[in-house]
Chains A and B, each alone.
Chain A
Amino acid sequence: MILGVALVLIGFWGLISRKNMIKMILGLAIAETGLQLIMVTIGYIDGRTAPILDGAVNTLLAVRQVVDPVPQALVLTAIVIGVAVNALMLTFVIRLYQKKQSLNISDYKDLKW
Chain B
Amino acid sequence: MVRRAFSLLLILALAGIFFSILKGWTPMTELSGVARDYVANEKEQLGAMNLVTAIVVTYRGLDTLGEVTVLFLAASGVAVLLRRKRDEAAATVKIKRAASEIVTTGASLLSPFIVMFGAYIFLNGHLSPGGGFQGGAVIASAVLLLFLAHPDYKLKHAVLNIIESFSGFAYVLVGLLGLFLAGGFLDNRFLPLGHFGSLLSAGAIPVIYVLIGLKVGTELATILENMKGRAL
Residues of A that sit less than 8 Å from B by CB: 1-2, 5, 8-9, 12-13, 16-17, 42-46, 50-54, 59, 62-63, 66, 68-70, 72-73, 76-77, 79-81, 84-85, 87-88, 90-92, 94-95
Contact = CB atoms under 8 A, between A and B. Distances in A.
A26 to B, nearest CB: 16
Given A53-B43, A70-B35, A91 B56 contact: no
Given A63-B39, A77-B64, A84 B74 contact: yes
Interface residues of B, number: 51
B39 A62 contact: yes
A81 B49 contact: no
A8 B18 contact: yes
A70 B29 contact: no
B29 A88 contact: no
A73 B38 CA distance: 12
Interface centre among A66, A77, A90 (most CB of B within 10 A): A77
A76 B57 CA distance: 12
A69 B38 contact: yes
A39 B74 CA distance: 24
Contact of A66 (B32, B51, B70, B74): B51
Contacts of A42: 28
15 contacts: A5-B18, A9-B15, A43-B28, A45-B30, A50-B129, A52-B49, A52-B50, A53-B43, A63-B40, A69-B35, A70-B35, A73-B56, A76-B56, A80-B216, A91-B77
Contacts of A95: 81-82
Interface in B8-57: 10-11, 14-15, 18, 22, 25, 27-32, 34-36, 38-40, 42-43, 49-52, 55-56
Given A16-B11, A91-B77, A94-B82, A68 B31 contact: yes
Contacts of B50: 51-53
Q: What's the dominant secondary structure at chain B's contact region?
A: helix
Given A42-B28, A63-B31, A72 B71 contact: no
Contacts of A13: 7, 11
A81 B52 contact: no
B133 A88 contact: no
Q: What's the dominant secondary structure at chain A's contact region?
A: helix
B129 A52 contact: yes
A13 B11 CA distance: 6
Contact of B34 (A53, A66, A70): A70
A70 B63 contact: no
Given A17-B4, A79-B133, 18 more contacts: A5-B18, A45-B29, A52-B49, A52-B50, A53-B42, A53-B49, A62-B39, A69-B39, A70-B32, A70-B38, A73-B52, A76-B56, A76-B133, A77-B67, A81-B70, A87-B227, A90-B227, A95-B82
Nearest to B37: A63
B27 A69 contact: no
A9 B7 CA distance: 12
